[in-house]
Amino acid sequence: MLWHEVVRSASSAPGKNARRKFMDFKIRGSFLFTSFSIQLGYLGTKSCFRFKKFATETEARKFVADNLSIAGGKPTSGPPKTPASSSANFSRKRRFETGASSGAPTKKTKQENETIDAEFADAPVVYTDGACSSNGRKNARAGWGVYWGDDDENNEYGPVYGAATNNRGELIAVEKALEKAIEKKLPKVVIKTDSNLIVQTMDTWIHGWKRKGWKTSTGTDVLNKDVILKIDNLRQKIKVKFVHVRGHAGIDGNEKADELARKGAKMYNRSDDSELTNLS
């Protein structure tokens, strides 16, 4: 749907589309917006954008999974970047990827308080995160972080291997967390991540990609397949529960994992084979 068509539709029925989701298929990325006001605030009325609307958020996310996969080379979602306050120019997690919303951060969110089924009620919890400065650009530097608890000897971080992207950092963090959990001989573990793409990938989308020969609905390759396969193989050795939490919402474990991932990103060097820094 073209931009002017979206605006006309909204003007003719202002209440009807209030809860619909919109996805922008701009060349440099795809963004999910939950209202016209937010969409207009970020993109204005330029005619260079193309839009598609969905009745539900689930439909929008499924479309991205089928057409963009868990892309590693280009930004895949969220509003355009604003100048970062930190010298490392790390971008905040994108709205589509994390489900983050505006408002004062709270120590516990709805996701954080989500009841975990009885099987994982007593399972250790680990937070994972990825970080990338200049995500999607040639000078990108990406890393991963794994946080088990304050002063825990198993906390670790490092630079990504392969393409330097935020999504790849998120995936590698999960890979490292599972490797450590298996090394510790844990029977099960709960992995908390602020990347909803990770949860959807490992719980849902991976099954369709396997059936399609690791191709999206458009016939393109699923990116980061190598890391996804490693995670899939590792979870055959341990019971895993993936839980999505809001990013940058005051959740201590998530914030600590983010700090570690940023440290890992600063270590990124395309010619450097080192991957890991253990905090013990």
Kindly name the residue from 248, 252, 259, 275 that is annotated as catalytic.
Answer: 248
Residues near 176 by beta carbon (within 8 Å), at least 6 away in sequence:
128, 144, 146, 156, 158, 276
- Could you give the domains of the chain? 3-55 (no CATH), 95-278 (3.30.420.10)
The whole-angstrom separation of Cα 119 and Cα 188 is: 9
Task: Give catalytic status of residue 150 as yes or no.
Answer: no
Quote the pLDDT of residue 136: 79
Q: Tell me which of 112, 158, 258, 264 is the catalytic residue.
A: 258
Q: Is 248 known to be catalytic?
A: yes
Which entry of 170, 247, 253, 264 is annotated as an active-site residue? Answer: 170
Q: Please, what are the averages of pLDDT over each run of 10 residues along the chain (280 residues)?
A: 35 43 43 53 50 68 61 39 42 39 44 64 96 89 97 97 95 98 98 95 94 88 96 98 92 97 92 49
Can you tell me the distance from the alpha carbon of 158 to that of 274, in angstroms, rounded to the nearest whole number? 8
Whether 130 is catalytic: yes
Place of tokens 């570690």: 260
Burial of 211: CB neighbours in 10 Å, binned 0-12, 13-18, 19+: exposed
Distance between CA atoms of residues 159 and 75, nearest Å: 19
**How far is the C-alpha of 177 from the C-alpha of 145, rounded, in Å?**
9
Q: What is the token pair recorded at 105?
A: 């951060």
- pLDDT value of position 222: 94
Antiparallel, parallel or unpaired: β 188-193 and 239-244: parallel
Gap between the Cα atoms of 269 and 193, Å rounded: 25
Catalytic: 258? Answer: yes
Does the annotation count 114 as an active-site position? no
Sign of CA dihedral 64, 66, 70, 74: negative
Q: Measured in whole angstroms, how far is the alpha carbon of residue 247 from the centre of its chain? A: 9
Describe the strand order of the beta sheet including 51-54 as a list of residue ranges: 29-33, 21-26, 51-54
pLDDT at res. 67: 62
Provide the CB-side half-sphere exposure for 229 (13 A, CA): 9
pLDDT at residue 18, rounded to an integer:
43
Looking at residue 148, what is its pLDDT?
98
What pLDDT was estimated at residue 52? 67
Catalytic option among 194, 247, 253, 264: 194
Q: Is 145 a catalytic residue?
A: no
* pLDDT in the model for residue 31: 57
- Give the pLDDT score at 144: 98
Res 248: pLDDT: 86
Contacts of 208 (CB under 8 A, 6+ apart): 65, 66
Range list of β-strands (E), the chain:
21-26, 29-33, 51-54, 125-133, 141-147, 156-159, 188-193, 239-244, 277-278
Flag whether the pTM goes above 0.95: no
Distance CA 5, CA 107 (A): 41
**pLDDT score recorded for residue 254:** 97
Which of these is catalytic: 29, 130, 169, 247? 130
Tell me phi and psi for residue 31, to 5 degrees: -125, 140
Which one is catalytic: 129, 169, 247, 253?
129
Report pLDDT for 94. Answer: 41
